[in-house]
Structure 1
Amino acid sequence: MLKPNNSWTWYYDQKDDSLMLDLGDDMVFRVAIPTKHLVPTAFEKSTFTVDDATVYQSFIEGISDLDLSAPRKAELALNAVAASRFHKPLMPKSWFFQNLEGDCTPVQAEIVTLYTESGKGNYLVIENSGCASLCMLADVEPLSLTSTKDMKFCEVIKVMNDRMEAFQVEVEVAPMSFALVG
C-alpha cells in the first residue's frame, strides 16, 4: 500500500491536460477529475500536505471493507483526496437515484449505496454539505444511471442524502456440516 510522504507533489500537466500527483521514484498518478471540474488552485504546483495525508488515511480506512485490490483502493483514495481538495462545487443530481426517504447522514470516508432504475452502486462520501453529499463511485464496474448515461469508477456526483443507504458488508457464510453422533 502507498504510504504518503512530504515529497509528493500535486501539479497540472498541460501536455496530458490532467492534474497529476508526483509520488517520487519515477511514479506519477493521474487524477481522474476532468479539467473543467478543477478549482483554480489545482493549476498551481503544491505539496501533498499533512492534511492530505490525514484525509488519504481516512479514505483508506473507509474503503477497507470493499472488495477491491490494494492498487484499486489506492487509486480510489488518491482520487478522493484530489476531489476533496480540488473539485469545483457541484449542484445535486439526485434524480438519477431512488428516493429512500431514509435518515442517512453520511460522513467523509463512509461508504453508501445508491440505487438507480437498473442497479445499485457503492459510493465513497467525499464531503457532506448538509442535505447533500459529494460522492465518488467506488465500484470498478460502471453503473448505469439512464439508458444513455453511465458512471465510471472514481467519477463524482453530488446527491441528496435521502437517496443514500448505509453500506452493508456482504459476508459469505460457509455451509455448516454436522456429524451425527450416537
Structure 2
Amino acid sequence: MTINLIAAISKTNQLGYKNKLLTELPNDLARFKELTLNSICVQGRKTYESIIKRNEKPLSHRTNIVVSRNVNYHVHPSCYLYNSVDDIIREYEEYAEKEANVFVIGGKTLYQQFLPYADYIYLTIIDHIFPKADTYFPQFTLDDWKIIEHIKNKADEQHLYDYHYVTYKRKK
C-alpha cells in the first residue's frame, strides 16, 4: 500500500478558505483526477461535504473514505465511513492489495495525521499569496523528502497564476 498526500497550496502553504479551494486551476484539477482515478481517496468530513456540494456526488471511479469522529455521520451509500486514521491504516495494511494507492485529499487535520505514514506528497504550488486563507498545509522537513519531479507551468488565459507540480518521495 502506498500512501500519498495530494494538495494545491500557495507558496506560503495556504490550502483553503471557508472550506473551498483558494483558486481553481483546470490543469491541476485534471492532474488530480488522473493521479487519483481508480485509487482510494481519504477525505475529512468537511472536504467530503465540499465535494458533494460542488459535484452533487462523491468522486467517481474511486473508493471514497470519509473520516469523521461522529459515528452517526451519514455518507453516500458508495462511500465508507471511518472514525480514525489508525483504523484506516490498520485495515488497509491488513486487507488491501500491495499495489493499492491511497490518496489523502484533505483537510488539514488528515494531512497532519497521515504525514508520518506518507510515501509521496504531490503538491501543486501556486506562485501567489492569497489575501484570505484559514487552512494551511502542514509543514514538513525537506530532510525527510527528495524531490523526484518538478514541473513549472506559466499563467495563461485559464490559469491566473504560475504554478508548479512538485512531487516528493520519502527518503528511506
If the TM-score is normalised by the length of the shorter chain, which range does it land in? under 0.3
The TM-score normalised by the length of structure 2 is 0.25
Q: TM-score, normalised by structure 1?
A: 0.24
Q: Which has the larger radius of gyration?
A: 1
Relative contact order higher in (CA < 8 Å, ≥ 6 apart): 2
Q: Counting strand residues as a fraction of each chain, which structure ranks higher?
A: 2
